[in-house]
Amino acid sequence: TAEWQSVPLAPPDSIFQLTAAYKEDTFEKKINLGVGAYRDDNSKPWVLPVVKEATRILLNDETLDHEYLPITGLPEFTAAAAKLILGADSPAIADGRVSSVQTISGTGANHLGALFFSRFYQWGPSEKQVFLSNPTWANHQAIFKNVGIPPVDYPYYDPKTVGLNFDGFVESLKSAPERSVFLLHACAHNPTGVDPTPEQWAIVADVMLEKQHFAFLDCAYQGFASGDLDNDARAVRYFVQKGVSLLICQSFAKNAGLYGERVGALHIVSTSKEAAARVKSQLSVLQRSEISNPPSHGARIVSLILNSPDLFEMWKRDIATMAHRIIDMRKELFRLLTEELHTPGNWDHIVKQIGMFSFTGITPKQSKALIDEHHIYLTGNGRISMAGLNTHNIQYFAASLDSVVR
């Protein structure tokens, strides 16, 4: 039939394409630095010991069944998740000003937040648009376009310093119309690994307050960046304390290693308990038409971990294990490049950047040479996943990087 004749063939997802090419490669020392998931020192996925323990407890719990969760999710999970990001003593929680909904991981939180904005945000002098950092996680563009909110860029990354273009960032906050919506990465910016300092966050918060901008905070890496959950939540808590209008998209994919379980939450902080109740009622209506009810298994695991002091302590140790392995890889890569190989150029950014990803600052041509000549797979923008490096392959990677930049 003639059905779907006009549907064009979409290009494959570039990260998936990269992984496919890596899998086909038979070279023994091949390395995959494209993947955005934690790997242990033997390049294997890591099921957190605390997740194994929580799963064991759930399996032995005879009271559990497979009934639907409430539309807005498992209440013990959403309440504990809000405390985790906002702080257990958060006045916003105490005042009942936080509307929390369980979502399909961080992607679902971004989507539900964007959908809520497309329906209910009073755009004021701002047009219907969202400011995204240049660059950002590619899905941000698609998520907002899908709900009819056009994305526009704000300057963020400075290729000259392989760091933050702070002046450009602040300038765009100042020149944007009042009540603009800015998507900010709460910590461990993807794809650059470049975060503002606490002093810079304070300036951003001041300008946002002055211009009454809204902070759409995406928090996909709490704990994963520094190894400390509270430290990585600092920017979010500071914004709440200052009274910046905001919401938070929260993911447990990375920090609990629950990628495929899709555990996340959306938290919208309002100025009053009444507003929060109205917001939550509308989120519930939106959620009903999209997924009816969120999935229970992953939320039960995280809820157990967050609500039992012993498991919570165990989780903190597991998070530190992951974060510190990554930090160690940064230090070792920096040492190899600067002290052993005397690789040309400045590599300070390798240890200054934070989280799973690092922008190396190499050109697309050099990235391609790493793939074609050295069997090292990375995205064309020079982003590497530090989680792909380990004590067995880091020397080969450093030597290869050295040879393509010479």
User: Catalytic site residues?
Assistant: 137, 218, 254
Q: Does 264 bind ligand PMP (CB under 6 A)?
A: yes
Torsion sign (Cα): 73, 141, 17, 371? negative
Place of tokens 């950002």: 136
Query: Read out DSSP for 190-240?
Result: TTT-----HHHHHHHHHHHHHTT-EEEEEES-TTTTTS-HHHHTHHHHHHH
* Closer residue to ligand PMP, CB minimum distance, 105 or 360: 105
* Closer residue to ligand PMP, CB minimum distance, 110 or 126: 110
Nearest alpha carbon to residue 211 among 244, 250, 233:
244
Which of 195, 218, 261, 318 forms a contact with ligand PMP (CB under 6 A)? Answer: 218
Q: Which stretch binds ligand PMP (CB under 6 A): 59-67, 101-109, 205-213, 238-246?
A: 101-109
- State the nearest-atom distance from the C-beta of 137 to ligand PMP, in Å: 4
Q: Does 192 bind ligand PMP (CB under 6 A)?
A: no
Give CA–CA dist 176/208, Å, rounded: 10
**How many residues bind ligand PMP, per CB under 6 A?**
13
- For residue 67, the tally of other CB atoms under 10 A from its CB is 7
Query: Read out DSSP for 351-405?
Result: HHS-SSEEE----HHHHHHHHHHH-EE--TT-EEEGGG--TTTHHHHHHHHHHHH
- State the nearest-atom distance from the C-beta of 191 to ligand PMP, in Å: 8
Which of 105, 222, 358, 385 forms a contact with ligand PMP (CB under 6 A)? Answer: 105
Which of 162, 207, 220, 235 forms a contact with ligand PMP (CB under 6 A)? Answer: 220
Give CA–CA dist 98/112, Å, rounded: 15
* Closer residue to ligand PMP, CB minimum distance, 99 or 222: 222
Q: Is 399 exposed, middle or buried (0-12, 13-18, 19+ CB in 10 A)?
A: middle
Which of 30, 185, 330, 375 forms a contact with ligand PMP (CB under 6 A)? Answer: 185
- For residue 7, the tally of other CB atoms under 10 A from its CB is 7
Q: Which stretch binds ligand PMP (CB under 6 A): 18-26, 104-112, 166-174, 303-311?
A: 104-112
Q: Does 190 bind ligand PMP (CB under 6 A)?
A: yes
Tell me the two tokens of residue 80: 């504990």
* Closer residue to ligand PMP, CB minimum distance, 330 or 383: 383
Q: Does 379 bind ligand PMP (CB under 6 A)?
A: no
* Closer residue to ligand PMP, CB minimum distance, 186 or 337: 186
- For residue 389, the tally of other CB atoms under 10 A from its CB is 26
Q: Does 195 bind ligand PMP (CB under 6 A)?
A: no
Which of 36, 87, 193, 227 forms a contact with ligand PMP (CB under 6 A)? Answer: 36
Q: Footprint of ligand PMP on this chain (CB under 6 A)?
A: 36, 105-107, 137, 185, 190, 218, 220, 251, 253, 259, 264
